Amino acid sequence: MKKLACWVEIPRITDPRGNLAVIEGEILPYTIARVYYLHDVPSDAYRGGHAHKECEELLVAVSGSFEVVLDNGLKKERVMLNKPNKGLLITKGIWRELDNFSSGAVCLVMASHTYDEDDYIRDYESFLESKRR
């Protein structure tokens, strides 16, 4: 069965003074329309819990770590993000839940669309229904 999301290797310029990671050009299948980040997330917090109708997102743990549960309505997969040069590309129509944030974790998100509440499916039963259609 098809993977629920794919990893994107982010090119890095390593340097003893500190590493520099760059996201530009063709690295993503879309032009970035919005950037947001989750920070100061309590370790017992749960984020996400929704799917998008159109929006695609690249998630990067720029600091610390967290886990993402991906769900296409048929299968679920749990992945850990803990590398600033490895992003998780989640396409539309995938339910995602984020948890297990480490202390100091920052989840940077680069999205294909600007914020639109109408693009969200926040009810899990509606999500499953959208997959049956």
Q: Are strands 34-38 and 95-99 parallel, antiparallel or unpaired?
A: unpaired
| Count of all residues that appear for the chain in the document | 133
Site residues for ligand TYD, window 55-84 (CB under 6 A)?
none
Choosing from 32, 47, 63, 100, the residue that interacts with ligand TYD (CB under 6 A) is 47
For the question of residue 50 being annotated catalytic, the response is yes
Q: At its nearest, how many Å lie between ligand TYD and the CB of residue 118?
A: 12
State the binding string over 79-118 for ligand TYD (x if CB under 6 A, else -).
------------------------------------x---
Under the binding rule (CB under 6 A), the answer on residue 36 touching ligand TYD is yes
Of the pair 26, 118, the CB lying nearest ligand TYD is at 118
Under the binding rule (CB under 6 A), the answer on residue 32 touching ligand TYD is no
30-64 burial, b if ≥16 CB within 10 A, otherwise e?
eeeeeeeebeebeeeeeebbebbeebbbbbbbbbb
88 bridge partner residues = 7, 59
Q: At its nearest, how many Å lie between ligand TYD and the CB of residue 38?
A: 6
How far is the C-alpha of 51 from the C-alpha of 120, rounded, in Å? 6
How far is the C-alpha of 94 from the C-alpha of 88, rounded, in Å? 12
Instruction: Tell me the backbone φ, ψ of residue 64, rounded to 5 degrees.
Output: 65, -155
Q: At its nearest, how many Å lie between ligand TYD and the CB of residue 30?
A: 16
Q: Which residues bind ligand TYD (CB under 6 A)?
A: 34, 36, 38, 47-48, 50, 115
